[in-house]
Chain A
Amino acid sequence: MPLFRMQILILQLQTILFQLQIFLLQVISWLSFSLAMVSLAVIMGLIIRRAILDHGKRLAAERQNLLMDRMLACLEDPGQLGTLKEQLRPDDQRLLLGLFEGMIPNLRGEYAQRLSDMMRTLGVMENQIRELQHRKWWRRANACKILAWIRDPRVIESLEKTMNDPNGDVRLEAATALVKLDAVRSPSLLLAKLAEATLTRSLALVDLCRTLGPSCVSEFIAMLDGDFPDRVMTLAVDALGFSGDLRAVEPLLKLQQHSSAEVRFAAVQSLGALGDPRALAVFEKSLHDPAWEVRAQTAFWLGRLGASEMLSPLQDRLDDDQWWVRYRAAEALAAMGNAGAIALRGFAEDVRPRVAEIAQGVLNEKGLAT
């Protein structure tokens, strides 16, 4: 009897499992079908949206053309600004902003000032200062970019506050705007606000520091003695090189002993860019730097500087283990006129294959082979 019951139980269980299986299969079928239908409905919605957007774009383009004509008229005659302001619709702000972004980089002097004043009068500046509080970071970053063109104490104040923004990209954009407005109080403070790993690696920060360089040479020089991370130090060194200020030479010379190859590399590059002859003695040592990148960079700058007294140290580098060092040394020799070319021709016959190969290769490349 218990066996019979057990069999019935198993049968019932099998039936339930079978029904469950059928149910699951039906769910899968309907779910798949529904998803396909929903996706088709969504794409149809997108197609309709696209059609509406295209139509909206055409209308906006027409309105923007009209606004542009009026803005140009106001640039010529600022007296018409009042009329323009009265004619503005609430949704014109976005179009005005687009026009401003397009026009301002192409204007100089008085016209640029008039356009900035116009944006202030038409409320664009206020809008953008408010936009700095927007919850989307890219909107805040874009506001910084626009405000960089409007020289106003309120703009500078707002941008300085934005340097505390939680998003690094927004801070970077605010810093760029402050640099553009020539309103940076302390570059080291500015860099401290930007000193997070992802930002300091970005070439955007290199660009910012180079722009800042000429006006902040003393501050950057002071940073070289400070306790900054290597990456921040590199930024300061790079900026000094592109400042064109010879006060930077002495502090940069001291960096030849720095523990970071990245800093030593930047120092060689900056000294080369400054083109001061005091750098040559240091360059001679840098040709033996443990990092091949520093050696190659040094050889490159010696070639650019045409330092003929460095012929002999450069010749030694023709037998460097790294191809790029050999190549840059040979290239530098080729750039040093007749003496360099004669030396290279001699090395083209050298018994050391890699020396002969690089010397001959560069002679051929530069058209100096006999």
Chain B
Amino acid sequence: MFAPIIDIIKLINAVIFALLILQNASYFVWLALAYAELRRSVRREKKPNLWSMLTKDFTFSISLLVPAHNEETTVVENVHSLLALQYPDFEVVVVNDGSSDRTLETLIEKFDLTKIHRACQLAIPHRRIRGLYGNPRYPRLIVVDKENGGKSDALNAAINLARNPIVCSIDADSVLDADSLIRAMRPFVEEPEQMIAVGGTVRVANGCTVKAGQVIQIMPPRQMLPLFQSVEYLRAFLIARLAWSRLHAMLIISGAFGLFKRNAVIQAGGYSTSTVGEDMELVVKLHRSMREKGIAYQMRYVPDPICWTEAPDTLQVLQRQRTRWQRGLLETLFKHRRMLFNPSYGPVGLVGMPNFLAFDVIGPLLEMTGYVLIPFCGVIGVLSYEFFIAYFMLTFALGICLSVGSLFLAELSAHHSLKPKDLLLLTAGAVVENFGYRQLNNYWRLMGFWQFMRDKQGWGAMPRAGFSRG
């Protein structure tokens, strides 16, 4: 009587197991690709001529786009930090996106701003701009006050107002390394015509010492949750993005630090205001737009320009962030489902998007099912002891192996080399995160999936504790 049920359970187990093998095999391919790309990147870094040239006047000018919503406590210091970046020609466009706190007033007071005018190309629609502010003493700074429309809307307004060919989106609560713009600009200098987007690395700043808007001492976080996220960020950036960049199938450039050719963004229609994953959606849209128009283009991830961000240190805030990311991913995949498995979109349609679908949408669901189903089957005697052990080894031992692999890449990139004891701490984090944190993350992904199905909107509050100041 139970035979058909047992057969179905066995089949589900086999599917879970097969996907896990496929997933891990893919991860190892990525690790190898990431290693090759990192080596190439380190060699590119050695090109001596480029470095001196990047400090000259004729490189592309950049407009830094900084959307700010209720950031009154940190915005002034962050703007000071941005104005102090090393780059020949850039402007900082801060957009106060209808803050309900004193973000705008604080900026006006601290930078002694007055109302100014700037002719603006209305290339992308956005909510009404209430006013522009500037001060001749800070010629690189322009503050935009607009009605609240969300991060994407603020970025669209900033793109319209930007006067430079390259725009760079930056989170108002992030800190850039002083030379990050120069480093990120390298691909544009090498391929000025085809390069349309470049992503940099985002790393967790919890535990680091920040002074005068610069990270002056790098330390891994001492708290468990941010420590796990540190390892996770290294894995995401140094394995996944490097590998995808190598395959020309990069689908995410972090909203915290990404450079784009302004014209390309405008042609693609700017940031979408109907998704919470606007950074991923823009990159997918750029791929789509370029492919459909038949324009040759490139996007690249560069590991050394570093943007430091404060990782959530409470479960509640982290949960909100992760469910939002998952919703953003699903919204993007759904919106651009036409690209999935479609050879007209090249590696993005054939490899990049199916990968996200398999490992970031279906993967967590099957993994969580496996956590429940496989031990249960082991207990009732449906599965062999060997199957049970193999499943957990694939999940945990290879999980550790991949996390440690990202630390290996981090050590090889050596732009910000860590002290031995810090590397040891991260290694411990890479091992421990597999037991509890990983499962929690999968659970949040499922929550995100559920919220997507129920069409939930919005970001949710993301309170920050602030960097540890030197």
A: residues with CB less than 8 A from B are: 21-22, 25-26, 28-29, 32-33, 35-36, 38-40, 42-44, 46-48, 50-51, 54, 137-138, 141-142, 144-145, 169, 172-173, 176, 198, 201-204, 206-207, 210, 323-324, 327, 330, 358, 361-362, 364-365
Contact = CB atoms under 8 A, between A and B. Distances in A.
Given A50-B418, A201-B191, A35 B401 contact: yes
Contact of B386 (A29, A137, A365): A29
A358 B121 CA distance: 9
Q: Is the interface of B mostly helix, strand, loop or mixed?
A: helix
Contact of B397 (A33, A142, A145): A33
Interface string B416-432: 01111001100100010
A172 B407 CA distance: 35
A330 B121 CA distance: 13
B404 A202 contact: no
B390 A29 contact: yes
The 5 closest A-B pairs by CB, nearest first: A361-B119, A364-B117, A36-B397, A32-B393, A138-B46
B117 A39 contact: no
A26 B394 CA distance: 11
A203 B192 contact: yes
Contacts of B194: 201
B189 A202 contact: yes
A241 to B, nearest CB: 11
A142 B119 contact: no
B2 interface: no
B394 A28 contact: yes
A141 B47 contact: yes
B424 to A, nearest CB: 6
B427 A40 contact: yes
A33 B119 CA distance: 63
Contacts of A206: 58
Contact of A40 (B24, B404, B418): B404
Contacts of B387: 25
A203 B189 contact: yes
A22 B386 contact: yes
Q: How large is the interface on B (under 10, 10 to 19, 20 to 34, 35 or more residues)?
A: 35 or more
Nearest to B384: A22
Interface of B: 21, 24, 43, 46-50, 53, 56, 58-59, 116-121, 123, 189-194, 384, 386-387, 389-390, 393-394, 396-398, 400-401, 404-405, 407-408, 411, 417-420, 423-424, 427, 431
Given A25-B384, A36-B398, 9 more contacts: A28-B21, A48-B420, A138-B46, A141-B46, A142-B48, A176-B49, A202-B190, A207-B53, A358-B119
Contact of B119 (A35, A39, A42, A330): A330
Contacts of A144: 48
Given A25-B384, A43-B407, A145 B49 contact: yes
Contacts of A145: 48-49
Contacts of A141: 46-49
B121 A323 contact: yes
Given A169-B47, A207-B56, A50 B389 contact: no
Contacts of B43: 137-138
Nearest to A51: B420
B49 A26 contact: no
A361 B120 contact: yes
Contacts of B56: 207
B397 A32 contact: yes
A137 B46 CA distance: 10
A42 B452 CA distance: 41
Contacts of A43: 404, 407-408, 411, 423, 427
A139 B445 CA distance: 47
Contacts of A207: 49, 53, 56, 58
Given A29-B389, A141-B48, A39 B118 contact: no
B114 to A, nearest CB: 11
Contact of A47 (B116, B118, B192, B420): B420
A32 B398 contact: yes
A362 B119 contact: yes
A144 to B, nearest CB: 8
Give the residue among B49, B118, B405, B417 with the most A Cβ atoms within 10 A: B49
Contacts of A40: 400, 404, 427, 431
Nearest to A169: B47
Contacts of B53: 203-204, 207
A318 to B, nearest CB: 12
Contacts of B193: 201
Given A29-B389, A36-B398, A141-B48, A323 B123 contact: yes
A40 B432 CA distance: 13
Nearest to B116: A365
Nearest to A34: B397
Given A25-B389, A47-B427, A364 B191 contact: no
Given A138-B43, A327-B121, A330-B119, A39 B401 contact: yes
Contacts of B431: 40
Contacts of B424: 47
A295 to B, nearest CB: 15
A47 B423 contact: yes
A4 B123 CA distance: 80
A42 B408 contact: yes
